[in-house]
């Protein structure tokens, strides 16, 4: 069994921010993160993005524990929030997920 970690960020996000956030999460956690589609959100006028969701899966055999991965993701999210004057609505959630070896990426 594995655990799926989801990071959701809502607010005015620049067009380059999702890629930067993904890179920071990967550097911080050592996990491979992938963007997940958000229905009916997309971009807003002026070039900002309303919501992104990044997902990683930690298998029970991974070197990093789920708790350590979640803590690392939360640190990255808090850093992003601190960089913005208008703030971001963020969440870091976990749920049982498929084993990464079984996924077709």
Considering the domain boundaries, does residue 79 fall inside one? yes
**Greater model confidence, 85 or 56:** 56
pLDDT at 12 over 80: no
Long-range pairs for 71-75: beta carbons < 8 A, 24 or more residues apart:
72/25, 72/28, 72/29, 73/5, 73/7, 73/25, 73/28, 73/29, 75/28
* Confidence bin at 33 (pLDDT 50/70/90): very high
Considering the domain boundaries, does residue 103 fall inside one? no
Quote the mean pLDDT of the chain.
79
Considering the domain boundaries, does residue 8 fall inside one? yes
Q: If 0-12 CB within 10 Å is exposed, 13-18 middle and 19+ buried, where does residue 92 land?
A: buried
Q: If 0-12 CB within 10 Å is exposed, 13-18 middle and 19+ buried, where does residue 42 land?
A: exposed
- N- to C-terminal Cα separation, the chain: 18
pLDDT, mean of residues 70-90? 86
| Total number of domains constituting the chain | 1
User: What's the pTM value of the predicted model, to 2 decimals?
Assistant: 0.76
Considering the domain boundaries, does residue 52 fall inside one? yes
């Amino acid at each position: 069994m594995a655990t799926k970690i989801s990071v959701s960020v809502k607010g005015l996000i620049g067009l380059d921010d999702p890629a930067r956030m993904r890179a920071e999460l990967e550097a911080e956690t050592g996990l491979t993160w992938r963007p997940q589609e958000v229905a009916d959100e997309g971009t807003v006028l002026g070039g900002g993005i309303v919501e992104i969701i990044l997902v990683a899966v930690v298998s029970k055999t991974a070197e990093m524990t789920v708790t350590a991965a979640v803590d690392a993701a939360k640190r990255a999210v808090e850093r992003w929030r601190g960089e913005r004057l208008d703030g971001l609505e963020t969440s870091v959630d976990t749920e049982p997920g498929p084993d990464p070896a079984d996924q077709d990426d």
